[in-house]
Amino acid sequence: MEEQQQNALRKTSTSPFQSKPIRCIVKLGGAAITCKHELETINEKNLDTVSKQLRQVILSCPDSGKVLGMDWSKRPGTSETPSTIDGCCDEFKVDFEKFVVVHGAGSFGHFQASKSGVHKGGLCKSLVKAGFVATRISVTSLNHEIVRALAKEGIPSIGMSPFSCGWLTCERNMEAANVSMIVKALDSGFVPVLHGDAVLDTSQDCTILSGDVIIRYLAEELKPEFVVFLTDVLGVHDRPPTEPGAVLLREIAVDEDGSWSVVKPNVQDASKQVVVTVAAHDTTGGMVTKISEAAMIAKLGIDVYIVKAATEHSRIALSGDLKHNVPDSWLGTIVRPLRQQQ
């Protein structure tokens, strides 16, 4: 008994993060961190900038600050020894912010999943089973690269696959998803990095669990202060952003029943118009899915920022400052509970 208490004490004394609220869940959109049209190719420049921005907000560490890199592995094809880890001080960083990173697949996994129809289930078919394995190989290799990019910047990132975490779906909806290990990782001062994954489904054997669905589920469970979606466009527009005259929707208000309306720019009856025009170019379930998922999160009382990755706008969104002050120059879409507007 005494020993148990001692253990408990010791545990408390080494987990100063435990009582800290979760600051942010950030989605790295597949289109933002990979080259969409090049099979299994990372957008290195974007990923590098995103990692640096995340370092600033997670570690409260300025760009010029000394960083203890946490990727000590060599790159494939090189014989380089790991970069030096000297000059590491044993000081204890307490200004760590709790972040969870979830990323999409982009040009990883999609080929394998669509070629085999993993999302439709049926593991008794050899092709589906092979596609399941091939999809996981592809998405976990992206996960590995993202963990490395973040670790290089000194972010204590930990790759966690939904499959390995034991997450299951039923009829393609989340069924069982234990977040206790994610909470433990956060309480130990790590940044869990999850991803869209091939998972087992209790009704159809298997399916694809998307990063957006994971984000919503985690938002419900972890109640972060805000959620950021990093994408490859400025935000949500009233029509395809490449069309002339497309207008960026600056703010969307979500009612308690989940219905939403455009608050800025103040166009009469804008919301109905948006639903139609956005849907019209939404063949992949991209923007409408994103608004719906964002609305579900805002309904919980959580601000959602949809913003272009690796820009000054994404840096501001990740800092959390938008909660109190939205600069006129800021470009992006805020999806926010209605009561906060009043």
Task: Output the known binding site.
Answer: 105-106, 110, 211, 232, 286, 290
Per-residue binding string, its own copies, 12-51, x by CB under 8 A, is --x------------------------xx-----------
Say how far apart CA 338 and CA 148 lie, in whole Å: 39
Residue whose CB is less far from its own copies, 140 or 333? 140
At residue 289, what are phi and psi to the nearest 5 degrees? -60, -45
DSSP string for residues in 285-313: S-HHHHHHHHHHHHHTT-EEEEEETTSHH
Farthest CA pair distance, the chain: 72
Per-residue binding string, its own copies, 105-134, x by CB under 8 A, is ------xx--xx-----xxxxxx-xxxxxx
Residue whose CB is less far from its own copies, 126 or 242? 126
Annotated binding site for substrate: 105, 110, 211
Q: Is 185 in the site for its own copies (CB under 8 A)?
A: yes
Q: Write out the binding residues for its own copies, residues 221-260 only, by CB under 8 A.
A: none
Residue whose CB is less far from its own copies, 134 or 278? 134
The one segment of 23-31, 180-188, 228-236, 327-335 that binds its own copies by CB under 8 A: 180-188
Q: Encoding tokens for residue 33? A: 């961190």
State which amino acid sits at residue 284.
T
Cβ-proximal residues to 33 (8 Å cutoff; 6+ apart), any chain: 42, 43, 46, 47, 50, 103, 104, 106, 146, 230, 309
Q: Which of 35, 68, 246, 326 touches its own copies (CB under 8 A)?
A: 68
Cβ-contact 208, 37 below 8 angstroms: no
Say how far apart CA 283 and CA 99 lie, in whole Å: 31
Q: Write out the binding residues for its own copies, residues 158-177 only, by CB under 8 A.
A: 158-161, 163-166, 168, 170
Q: Write out the binding residues for its own copies, residues 135-154 only, by CB under 8 A.
A: 136-138, 140-141, 144, 147-148, 151, 154
